[in-house]
Copies of this chain bind each other. A is one copy, B any other.
Amino acid sequence: MTITSFSPTVARSKRKDKNLLMIELPEPLFLKALNKQAVSRPPVWMMRQAGRYLPEYRAVRSKITFETLCTTPDLAAEVTLQPVDLLGVDAAVIFSDILVILGAIGVPFYFDLEGGPRISQPIRSASDIDKLVPAEPPSKLAYVGEAIRKVDAILRPRSVPVIGFAGAPFTLAAYAIEGKTSREFAITRRFLIEQPEAFSKLLSHLAEAIIAHLHFQIKSGARAVQLFDTWGGIMSSPEYRQIVYPHTKHVITEIQKAGVPIILYMNGSTPHLNNMLETGADGLSVDWRMPLDQVRQIVGSAPVLQGNLDPTLLYSKPEVIERKTRKMITDHGVSKLIANLGHGILPDVPVEHARAFIDAVKNYS
């Protein structure tokens, strides 16, 4: 018997066919850990694992634009599968971009020559926000769902779950207002202070679009989702709590109603650990700046932690990577842990170094 594809719907409909061999698939390790079940070692994946550090990714990408790769389900599925096949990660995060939601609500973007995101017409006024359209994911972002279905059909029989994702309201608002990435996001922060009601309206609009897009990804086969509030850490903790947190929490609560676990990532997470904790997210994905065992002391025993090897540590020799990865797991403990980096894998990391990280987790005992 060869399994070439898998559909839960088909499997259920044929239950009465006595020639059908029913196989109970083991619960994926990633989901067991995220659901706080006992595991013998942490699952492992890497943010941006379908990315430029892989020669196989660069081969696909060399023929087409980033935009084409995002919007062509066969190709997005192909690169999503690469790190699973090549490195054996325990989950496949769908290849996409957090900015696709901006395009869907009427804020077009593109990538400049250096690969940096650019918003064609940044939001700068309340009237810009009034012009936004609601996101209709099944029509405008259908390609994301299609890519997820393709990947899930292949990986579900292998007990590897697909992770869907979206940018969080603040981070998407920051791109929409700033117009590009930034270290300080000074335009965004000025906007939120000078026009708090407009800013809040933007966050609300984004939150609904994010919820719709995540629900759509779940319906398409995503078995967990990650919400990236990558730049939320630029804010002070009390201001994040007052202005941003209600919208972040709203997204998380709505997704959990679908019975799907959600992980919240933040760069600059240390001052925001309590904000992150109180969102009730199932997993907290933290940056590399504070060791996981210290993070655990702050957040208590409730959440699963995800992280947090310094992405630049993957420039180290494989034996150093292995040692630091093992230390991270040992210091924190195996349970309620998903091994990952503290931010996305950098494009110039040698593949063998990424493999050393993955293998160190998989061989942990």
Contact = CB atoms under 8 A, between A and B. Distances in A.
Interface of A: 181-183, 186, 189-190, 193-194, 233, 235-239, 268, 270-272, 288-291, 294, 310, 312-313, 315-316, 342, 346, 348
B271 A236 contact: no
A348 to B, nearest CB: 8
8 contacts: A186-B346, A190-B315, A193-B313, A194-B315, A194-B316, A235-B289, A236-B342, A271-B289
A237 B346 CA distance: 20
A264 B181 CA distance: 29
A315 B236 contact: no
A271 B342 CA distance: 14
Contact of A236 (B236, B239, B289): B289
Given A239-B310, A346-B186, A193 B316 contact: yes
Nearest to A327: B238
B194 A236 contact: no
A289 B313 contact: no
B183 A310 contact: no
A318 B222 CA distance: 48
Contact of A312 (B190, B237, B268, B312): B190
Contacts of A271: 270, 289-290
Contacts of A342: 236
A314 to B, nearest CB: 9
A236 B193 contact: no
A96 to B, nearest CB: 22
A186 B312 contact: yes
A64 to B, nearest CB: 26
A312 B271 CA distance: 17
Nearest to A234: B289
Contacts of A235: 289, 310
Contacts of A190: 312, 315, 348
Chain A to chain B: the 9 pairs with minimum beta-carbon distance, closest first:
A189-B312, A271-B289, A183-B183, A270-B271, A271-B290, A193-B315, A270-B270, A190-B315, A236-B288
Given A194-B315, A270-B271, A291 B346 contact: no
Give the residue among A194, A235, A315 with the most B Cβ atoms within 10 A. A315
Contacts of A272: 289
Nearest to A189: B312
A239 to B, nearest CB: 7
A321 to B, nearest CB: 10
A233 B289 contact: yes
A109 to B, nearest CB: 19
A28 to B, nearest CB: 30
